[in-house]
A and B are shown apart, each in its own frame.
Chain A
């Protein structure tokens, strides 16, 4: 699997997690990998549920204290790929 394939697969899983907690957001607007979550009207509780879904799905812990700029799908991809490489 190439690096680009890995990123694409990860992005797909993150979108799935997003759909599970905030499906109505995805249905009502065009959210891309670089769309800023605050601009979509995502609530803080939906954001927390979204992170928790990613953690459960991928068996990781995302430290929000260390990573306060996780505002797009691509930023989540970058962080998770970076952490996977570190491991």
Chain B
């Protein structure tokens, strides 16, 4: 994998005014486009309730995408380990690893929606302990070990995988806050982190966090110091290409407000202010702080380049795709990122720019020579 990689992070929520069938088709279309455009990986989330978050089994979508895509890596974004027996998690992932020709990434987390937990009898106070116990067993199974263990939550008796990872291992990534205990856990389990610059709702109120990017970079630095610095960090960031930052904010505000109001305030009960001015100020402060990258191609390229420099290598920057604009506009955004922004980050435009400069410098003399050709 390249020192700098780029992908997409699709959260599991979908506009409830769109039929779930159509929403799923859109996810598949978007994933196929991301593959065609050359993105390195795509992350697909898991939730079980709220009416918005309708993707309940990312592994099944990945199985479908295995046949629809050719080179993009496919990640569970993320499987809440305390919801599933660890043998099932490991079995499904290794099967996916085969179905995808080794392109599966296991993304795991603790889970977030309490309603999801209550529907299946998971006690939120047990999440951390159960997550860690499960992760240890999943990792051991993927390494080919036979597991015999009994925990307060699950039992695994002579548990072993029949299939083994296609190429020896499956990359395991943990959704992490990069708190000190989380960094310890990553080091102990030889896993790597994926972090959001800001959560999917942006911020509860405008200006609550003056420098979210700086705070995240500080945590990433702490992680790299602990891990030795050569382990991959994945960072999920929202980017929107527009004529200007102001135009971009106008394009995004309806969808951004709908999600904050419809899901996070009205359904999940977060104290998000719901006046138009509050949503606008929240987005403006996120854009001003660099937590959301919104602007013209040159601005987006420069800001992403700055963020990558601050995060260090190896890094995977995954573009957060919340679908705050129409489906077609979302596809157009991915295309703009791939065709207009990423080339600037790779230096892909340097050769043509240099050739233009060198040719233009000699243009007068060469024009004269041309007349001599006859």
Contacts and interface: CB of A to CB of B under 8 A. Distances in A.
B180 interface: no
A49 B277 CA distance: 18
B271 A63 contact: no
Contacts of A61: 273, 275, 277-278, 281
A65 B289 CA distance: 14
Given A55-B273, A55-B275, A48 B281 contact: no
Contact of B281 (A52, A59, A63): A63
Given A61-B278, A65-B285, A45 B208 contact: no
B262 to A, nearest CB: 16
B204 interface: yes
A51 interface: yes
Contacts of B205: 48, 51, 64
A24 to B, nearest CB: 17
Interface residues of B, number: 14
**How many interface residues does chain A have, given as a range?**
10 to 19
Contacts of B278: 55, 61
B57 interface: no
Given A63-B281, A65-B285, A48 B271 contact: yes
B250 interface: no
A6 interface: no
Interface of B: 204-208, 271-275, 277-278, 281, 285
23 contacts: A45-B271, A48-B205, A48-B271, A52-B271, A52-B272, A55-B273, A55-B274, A55-B278, A59-B275, A60-B275, A61-B277, A61-B278, A61-B281, A62-B273, A63-B206, A63-B281, A64-B206, A64-B207, A64-B208, A65-B206, A65-B207, A65-B281, A65-B285
Given A55-B274, A61-B275, A65-B206, 8 more contacts: A45-B271, A55-B273, A55-B278, A59-B275, A61-B278, A63-B206, A63-B281, A65-B281
